[in-house]
Amino acid sequence: MFRQFRRTTMLVAAMILAAGAGQAMAADGATLYKQKTCIACHGPDGKKPLLPEYPRLAGQNAAYIVRQMQDIKSGARANGNSAAMKGVMHLVNDEEMQAIADWLSGLN
Partner 1 sequence: MINKFLSTTLVTIALGTSTSAMAWLETGGEREEAMLLTPDLENGRDVFEVCAACHLPEGWGTEDGTFPQLAGQLRPVLIKQLADIRAKNRDNPTMYPFALPESIGDAQALADVVAYIEELPMNPDNGVGPGTDLALGEKLFKDNCVKCHGEHAQGNADKYYPRLEGQHYKYMLRQFEWIRDGKRRNANPDMVKQIKSFSDKDMSAVVDYVSRLKPPAKDLAPSKDWKNPDYE
Nearer to partner 1, 59 or 80 (CB): 80
Smallest separation (angstroms) from partner 1 to the CB of 67: 21
Compute how many other C-beta atoms are within 10 angstroms of the C-beta atom of residue 4: 8
- Interface with partner 1 includes 26 (CB under 8 A)? no
Q: What does the alpha-carbon distance between residue 73 and residue 79 come to, in Å, rounded to a whole number?
A: 12
Any contact of residue 84 with partner 1 (CB under 8 A)?
yes
Question: Site for partner 1 (CB under 8 A): which residue of 25, 26, 30, 39?
Answer: 39
Shortest approach of partner 1 to residue 101 CB, angstroms? Answer: 19
**25 touching partner 1, by CB under 8 A:** no
Count Cβ atoms within 10 A of the Cβ of residue 33 and give its class: 0-12 exposed, 13-18 middle, 19 or more buried. buried
Rounded Cα distance, 108 and 106, in Å: 7
Residue 19 CA, chain-centre distance (Å), reads: 17
Footprint of partner 1 (CB under 8 A): 34, 37, 39-41, 50-51, 54, 81, 83-88, 90-91
